[in-house]
A = this chain, B = another copy of it.
């Protein structure tokens, strides 16, 4: 049994394709989501349907695998059963938990109302509505203070996601919307990328982070490192820089801050009598099993695995995919009565972040790239991955089209989002 159809869970399921086992994959959603392109949903470039594929469709020809839609809320590790929110329960011989993490506001859950994150499809579409609506509201108001508040966008968190959102927002304001308004100049939009850390992109080498900062500044993004957010509300945020307090008036604040434990993660830590970290990780054995429960594997964002030097593995797709394949392999060897493989080892291919049209930074096997070459690598990797889910052609056409025209196809304000009063 596999819980979660993200990168880790899906790769575990695929690795079990020819194994003599019956696989059940349970997910709360009926789709696998290509998280690295979520910022494009949030900024109106792509529709959710273009970065997601139905799990059933992906696994339809894998005859030993069934997919169930349901939310696992409890695990009985000794009894080898999982319980779903709707009351059903299922037994397992081996369990791979790949249920991931969720956005965390580090104890300030009230901030989520004013600073949505972009971890789920619902959050990303909500954010898209908020961003587009801000320009509409600025166009409607006649009060210059109100207008500048609506035209100020703050992205909190300068990791890859924060950088990508900031770059995309800058392009929207400077290019996509430049002819769309009559009362405002979308070019006046102020885009602030804020982080408490001393520099952006901590997962990339310093020279590439510097390069990315320069490029973002050229796009008109204000970078505010060393800025610690202390409160977020309807009309802006308060932050600390060293000894000083500072207020930033902004009606659109985007949370790219960090991740924490899910309900299921906390429950697993509880029943296994172990701890879960602030970022939602549970320490695992070198073979990724939950200590004390050799039939339960934790992978991806949930797994507190480390490099040989003791540093934690990053919460990225690469790690989850490799761990999914590893856990599946261990199980197959156990089922077949073979020797266990050596402990899990993460093969780090590098890291990258996209800044804008034809512009990215990349660290590939230690080689530092930027500009168009880095962007081509970024685009190739993403397309190669999407190829497996059959919608690469659509995404490719969309991208090519946007690249040539600066247009953005998915600029709709829909759904349950409530328009604030002007």
Contact = CB atoms under 8 A, between A and B. Distances in A.
A180 B415 contact: no
Contacts of A180: 54, 56-57, 60, 67
B48 A414 contact: yes
B405 A390 contact: yes
Interface in A355-394: 390-391, 393-394
A222 interface: no
Interface string A82-100: 0000111000000000000
Contact of A30 (B49, B61, B132): B132
Contacts of A410: 47, 49
Contacts of A68: 139-140
A380 to B, nearest CB: 20
B140 A49 contact: no
A70 interface: yes
A411 B47 contact: no
Q: Which of A50, A181, A412 has the most CB of B within 10 A?
A: A412
A31 interface: yes
A199 B398 CA distance: 42
Interface string A182-224: 1100000000000000000000000000000000000000000
Contacts of A46: 49
Contacts of A60: 179-180
A416 interface: yes
A409 interface: yes
A340 to B, nearest CB: 31
Contacts of A31: 411-413
Quickly give the copy total for this chain: 2
Interface string A403-422: 00101011111111001011
A139 B67 CA distance: 9
Given A122-B415, A397-B397, A409 B139 contact: no
Interface in A35-58: 46-50, 52, 54, 56-57
26 contacts: A30-B412, A30-B413, A46-B49, A47-B48, A47-B49, A48-B412, A52-B412, A54-B411, A56-B177, A56-B181, A57-B407, A57-B411, A60-B179, A69-B139, A86-B419, A86-B421, A87-B421, A88-B422, A121-B415, A122-B415, A390-B407, A394-B394, A394-B397, A394-B398, A394-B401, A394-B409
